[in-house]
Every structure is written in structure tokens, then in C-alpha cells.
């Protein structure tokens, strides 16, 4: 946590607090802590299955395949960075000195709170603070895992070769009752919890998993019939719950101003940007663009912990717009998630409630009902059923299925006596490998969400040190970092609140999101944050001047 000593001036920023980052060096200095590695491919004897990539490590062989000496690297499980020679360091120091002489004077917006100084990132300020955070994470992981035997799964891949899993979850015991007894009847979003309850992804990344089956929307975009298109939209909303039945760990609650981008345009056909826009109740804004559709949502939630269960109640709204002048526009609200057997028995997750999907162009609507299990807990069928009506209330289609595995639909040809058309499979789940139980039951997409890539914003979740520690099984270090970051955030929010002259419902007092703006939706009348259209252009220019430095 930051010291409360005398604040430093802008010319000599405090490395432990909100200081600036040089945009011209964000890419190299953030990424160098993670991505300097050498790889060797391991292929099955028959040449089939995905190619796994590993890093050279001190615990590996000392020679290459051609019998030439292999240079020692850092930890293959973690970063595998290569130390620079003295001549390289000297050359880089001289080059950096020449660059710094050409840089203008710092341009910062400073805030102070009880001796704490933090600022917005400026393109003209040194990135010493960010480098310090990344070096600390890197050195700690290396010193801990230098002799690790689990070497076949690197932390990061190049964009063309993505990882297919992450390091295994450590077997660390925890007395749940000691922690959870103080949470009964309270909103769990306000309770500080150790990372032992978490998975190494933020809620920003978890929401991005909604698009794992985005091909459903690609199909729907080509359908002209409004009722038929609606059943595919319904299938898409159901598919987002598929993995929740086995994902019993909570994602990290993002820090205010934390972001996450996921650009899978080349392979999956979509890209999205997420930002934490309000601290409490936690509120996330998301914008996702496909080739023929655009989705956006504001996700907020409240939760209650009961004696042996946790009820998570979503508060936000999701929107979908198909491309074209006559493209249909949809909205819906997510249903409640219930985590069972928090204290006693085997953990399992259920979805219960009613969801209404509305087409705002022609009035078509679909009512989906998620049924509680009749018996058997997690082994019971997870039934979902729905009906599609036109604006006159006439039944047009029926939807049936299991929300964790398959969705089917059939057209209603005649109401009385009921006559239905043939069943059509709209979606079926692609199951992760059995060994995924070892690494938080992540799907392949989930494993890839925390891979670091060059050029991302300095507020991206992949740069969050406590989450990175956790992924690498350093839970004590992760908990220490988590407390430090949360303490720093509280100090920042106090200052934002003090400076605020207005108090608007649904808006963080004194804080302006970097990539989203607050409006009232003209179709639904709901207040929400929508994308301002500026993230990707700023990324192209590497202009992160509007971002806060939230991790140093």
C-alpha cells in the first residue's frame, strides 16, 4: 500500500501510487516482463491434436536439439524472460536518454489524499512505476517456481499460437466457516474475500465469455423471418450460462477504471471492450462488434449470502442490434444465479427465473423460463423452455432444452389443436476436456482470455498483479496485492467523491469513464453506459492519456 509520507512533486512521481506512463513505452515495458521467451513445439507421436508450446527452463535440458548449448531462461511456467547483456543495457540506456531529451515537460492531472498522490496517465511521463510493478511480479514468480516441473504450459503465447490451458489450481485448504460466517444476510459484493474463493479472471473477462457461441448470432443475422430469428437470439442468451454449472469460483471484482479488450476478429469474427464504470454497486459496461451484429450491455448485480447458498441477482440490461437498415433490435435482462452448498456438500450452480427478450422493431417477444431442479442437485436436468409471441400475443415458436447443453425449437403451425413443425437444434455445448477440472473448469476460450498481448491499455485486466499471482499459484502474494490495490482504490474514490459537485444515480461520483458515456436508452428508457467509439482508434495511436494508473 502507498505510504502516507509527504507527497512528491510531478517531476518526481511516487512509484507506488497513481503515476503516469509513457505511451511510447507502454508496449515494450509492460510486455517485456512477460513475453521474452523461447519456445519448442511438442507434438503427439501421430502428429495430431493441438500443438502445445513450452518454454526453455533451468530445469530443462541444457542443450538444444542440434546439441548446441541452450541459454538458461527464467521460469517456463511463468515468464521465461531473458536477461539482457551489459552491452545491451548500456545501449538501451543511451537510446532512452536520447529519447527523453526530446520529450516535453510532464502533463499530469494530480490528485492528493492524505499524502497519497495519483494521476491520470500522460504520454509524457516515465513508466517507472509500471515497470516496478511488473518487475516485482516477475521476480517473485521466478524465485518461487525456478525448479517447477510443470513446464508444458507457458503463461503467454504469440497471437497466432494461443494456449489451451493454464497452470493447475493448487490444493490449498481453507476454513470456509471462519470467513463466511460474517457474510450471512449481507451483500457479498461489499465483503473483502481472499483469492481462495476466486478464479484467475476478472468479471470483465468473464462477461466476454458470453460470446463463446457467437456463431449463433451469425446465423440469426441471415434470417429474415422475425419469429425464427428470435429463437436463435433466445438460444444465444441461453448459451452464455453453459459453463456456469461447473464454474463455482467467483471472478475478481474489477477496480474502478479497469478495462479488458478482446480482439478475436481474425479467428472468431468479433471484438469487444469492457470497463468498470461504477464501483458500487459494481457496474460494468461492455461493447462487442461482430461482422453483422453489435451487442452492448451494462452489467450490475447485487448478492445475498444465506446459510448454505449465495444468490447473485443481475441488475443490468443487454442489447443486440443486427446490421442493416431493417436490422432488428433486441433487449433482455439476465436471470438470477444461485450457488448451492457454500458451506456443506458439493458446490453447484443453478439458474432460476424468467427472462423476456423483446424485439423493439416489430414487438415480437420471447419468454424463457429457467426451472429449478426438481431433485438431485447438480445432477438434475437443467430445464429451460420458452415461447415466442408476435405483438398481438399469438404463439409462433416454442423453445425447449437444457441450459447447460442443448437448445431446440419448433414452429407452431396450429394452436388448437396444437400442431408443431419438426424440431430444429439451435445450439449444443462444446465440452471442455476432462482435465479442465484441474484448472478451474475453464474452457479453451476462458484459458485464452488472460494471455497478454502487445499494445493493450495499461488498465487491462491482464496487467493486474494479484490476478497474475493467483494464476501462478502464489496465493499469499495474490492476497497481499489484492489488499494493496483495494486500499489504493478506496483512497482514490474518496478524492473523486470529494471533488464531485453532482450526484447522479448510476454514475460514480467525480469519475468519468474512459471509453463509455452515460445516457438514457431511447428504446427502453433505461439509464446505462454505452461505448463512446474511441477505444480502438486510441489503441492504434497508443494514446492512453485518459487512463488511470491503477496497478502500481
Angle between helices 128-145 and 23-35 in degrees, nearest 10:
0
Distance CA 477, CA 469 (A): 6
Distance CA 315, CA 302 (A): 7
What local confidence, expressed as pLDDT, does residue 507 receive?
82
Angular region, 67: left φ>0, alpha ψ -120 to 50, beta rest: left
Our CA dihedral for 282, 288, 293, 298, rounded to 10 degrees, sits at 10
- At residue 308 the predicted structure's pLDDT band, cuts being 50, 70 and 90, is confident
Distance CA 365, CA 357 (A): 5
* Stretch 180-189: mean pLDDT: 56
Angular region, 63: left φ>0, alpha ψ -120 to 50, beta rest: beta
Q: Answer for the pair 461, 198: CB distance below 8 angstroms, yes or no.
A: no
Q: Which residue would you say has higher pLDDT here, 122 or 65?
A: 122
Give the three cell numbers for residue 277. Answer: 464504470
Give the three cell numbers for residue 103. Answer: 520529450
- Tens-digit pLDDT profile for residues 355-396: 999 999 999 999 999 999 877 677 889 999 999 999 999 999
Q: Which residue would you say has higher pLDDT here, 434 or 14?
A: 434
Q: 427: which strand partners?
A: 407
What local confidence, expressed as pLDDT, does residue 134 receive?
59
Is omega for the bond preceding 429 within 30 degrees of 0, making it cis? no
Q: Answer for the pair 10, 117: CB distance below 8 angstroms, yes or no.
A: no
Give the three cell numbers for residue 271. Answer: 471484438
Query: Which CATH class for the 196-252+301-439 domain?
Result: mainly beta
Least Cα distance to 39 among 58, 54, 61, 57 occurs for: 54
Specify the DSSP class assigned to residue 186.
S
Q: Answer for the pair 54, 76: CB distance below 8 angstroms, yes or no.
A: yes
Give the three cell numbers for residue 160. Answer: 497466432
Whether 211 shows a pLDDT value over 60: the answer reads yes
What local confidence, expressed as pLDDT, does residue 264 receive?
97
Q: How many CA atoms lie within 13 A of 274 on its CB side?
A: 27
- Tens-digit pLDDT profile for residues 513-532: 999 999 999 988 899 999 99
Report which listed range, 5-19, 147-161, 411-425, is most confident.
411-425
* Stretch 457-463: mean pLDDT: 97
* Stretch 21-48: mean pLDDT: 34
SS3 assignment, position 230:
helix
Whether 403 shows a pLDDT value over 90: the answer reads yes
Domains of the chain, by residue range, sit at: 196-252+301-439
Q: 261: which strand partners?
A: 273
What local confidence, expressed as pLDDT, does residue 32 receive?
37
Report which listed range, 81-95, 124-138, 222-236, 239-253, is most confident.
222-236
Range from 129-143, 195-209, 338-352, 500-514 carrying the lowest mean pLDDT: 129-143
Give the three cell numbers for residue 536. Answer: 480502438
Q: Answer for the pair 386, 369: CB distance below 8 angstroms, yes or no.
A: yes
Burial of 128 (0-12, 13-18, 19+ CB in 10 A): middle
Q: pTM for this structure?
A: 0.74
Q: Answer for the pair 232, 465: CB distance below 8 angstroms, yes or no.
A: no
Whether 310 shows a pLDDT value over 90: the answer reads no
Amino acid at each position: 500500500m502507498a505510504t502516507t509520507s509527504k507527497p512528491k512533486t510531478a517531476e518526481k512521481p511516487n512509484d507506488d501510487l497513481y503515476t503516469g506512463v509513457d505511451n511510447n513505452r507502454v508496449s515494450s515495458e509492460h510486455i517485456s516482463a512477460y513475453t521474452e521467451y523461447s519456445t519448442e513445439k511438442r507434438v503427439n507421436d501421430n502428429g495430431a491434436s493441438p500443438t502445445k508450446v513450452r518454454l526453455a527452463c533451468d530445469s530443462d535440458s541444457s542443450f538444444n536439439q542440434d546439441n548446441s548449448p541452450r541459454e538458461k531462461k527464467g521460469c517456463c511456467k511463468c515468464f521465461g524472460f531473458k536477461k539482457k547483456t551489459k552491452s545491451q543495457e548500456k545501449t538501451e540506456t543511451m537510446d532512452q536518454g536520447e529519447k527523453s531529451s526530446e520529450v516535453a515537460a510532464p502533463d499530469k492531472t494530480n490528485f492528493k489524499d492524505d499524502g497519497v498522490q495519483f494521476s491520470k496517465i500522460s504520454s509524457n511521463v516515465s513508466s517507472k512505476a509500471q515497470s516496478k510493478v511488473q518487475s516485482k511480479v516477475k521476480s517473485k514468480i521466478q524465485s518461487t517456481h525456478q525448479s517447477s516441473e510443470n513446464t508444458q504450459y507457458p503463461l503467454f503465447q504469440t497471437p497466432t499460437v494461443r494456449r489451451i490451458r493454464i497452470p493447475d489450481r493448487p490444493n490449498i485448504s481453507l476454513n470456509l466457516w471462519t470467513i463466511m460466517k460474517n457474510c450471512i444476510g449481507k451483500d457479498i459484493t461489499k465483503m473483502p474475500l481472499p483469492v481462495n474463493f476466486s478464479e484467475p479472471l476478472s468479471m470483465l473477462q468473464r462477461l466476454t465469455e458470453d460470446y463463446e457461441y457467437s456463431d449463433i448470432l451469425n446465423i440469426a443475422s441471415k434470417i429474415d423471418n422475425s419469429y425464427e430469428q428470435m429463437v436463435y437470439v433466445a438460444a444465444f442468451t441461453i448459451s452464455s450460462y453453459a459453463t456456469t454449472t461447473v464454474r463455482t469460483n467467483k471472478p475478481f471484482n474489477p477496480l474502478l477504471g479497469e478495462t479488458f479488450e478482446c480482439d478475436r476478429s481474425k479467428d472468431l469474427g468479433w471484438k469487444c471492450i469492457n470497463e468498470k464504470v461504477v464501483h458500487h454497486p459494481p457496474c460494468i459496461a461492455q461493447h462487442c462488434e461482430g461482422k453483422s451484429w453489435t451487442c452492448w450491455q451494462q452489467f450490475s448485480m447485487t448478492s445475498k449470502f444465506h446459510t448454505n447458498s449465495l444468490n447473485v441477482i443481475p441488475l443490468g440490461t443487454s442489447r443486440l442490434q443486427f446490421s442493416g437498415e431493417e436490422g432488428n433490435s433486441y433487449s433482455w435482462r439476465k436471470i438470477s444465479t444461485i450457488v448451492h452448498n457454500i458451506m456443506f456438500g458439493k458446490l453447484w450452480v443453478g439458474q432460476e427465473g424468467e427472462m423476456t427478450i423483446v424485439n423493439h422493431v416489430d414487438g415480437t417477444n420471447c419468454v424463457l423460463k429457467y426451472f429449478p431442479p426438481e431433485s438431485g442437485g447438480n445432477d438434475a436436468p437443467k430445464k429451460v423452455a420458452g415461447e415466442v409471441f408476435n405483438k398481438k400475443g399469438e404463439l409462433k415458436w416454442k423453445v425447449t432444452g437444457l441450459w447447460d447443453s442443448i437448445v431446440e425449437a419448433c414452429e407452431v403451425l396450429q394452436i388448437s389443436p396444437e400442431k408443431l413443425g419438426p424440431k430444429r437444434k439451435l445450439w449444443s455445448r462444446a465440452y471442455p476436456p476432462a482435465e479442465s477440472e484441474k484448472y478451474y473448469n475453464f474452457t479453451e476460450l476462458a484459458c485464452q482470455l488472460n494471455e497478454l498481448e502487445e499494445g493493450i491499455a495499461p488498465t487491462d485486466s491482464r496487467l493486474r498483479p494479484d490476478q497474475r499471482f493467483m494464476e501462478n499459484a502464489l496465493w499469499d502474494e495474490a492476497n497481499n496485492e489484492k489488499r494493496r490495490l483495494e486500499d489504493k482504490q478506496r483512497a482514490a474514490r474518496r478524492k473523486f467523491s470529494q471533488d464531485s459537485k453532482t450526484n447522479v444515480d448510476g454514475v460514480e461520483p467525480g469519475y468519468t469513464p474512459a471509453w463509455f458515456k452515460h445516457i438514457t436508452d431511447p428504446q427502453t428508457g433505461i439509464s446505462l453506459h454505452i461505448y463512446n467509439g474511441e477505444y480502438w482508434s486510441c489503441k492504434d495511436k497508443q494514446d492512453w492519456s485518459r487512463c488511470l494508473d491503477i496497478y502500481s
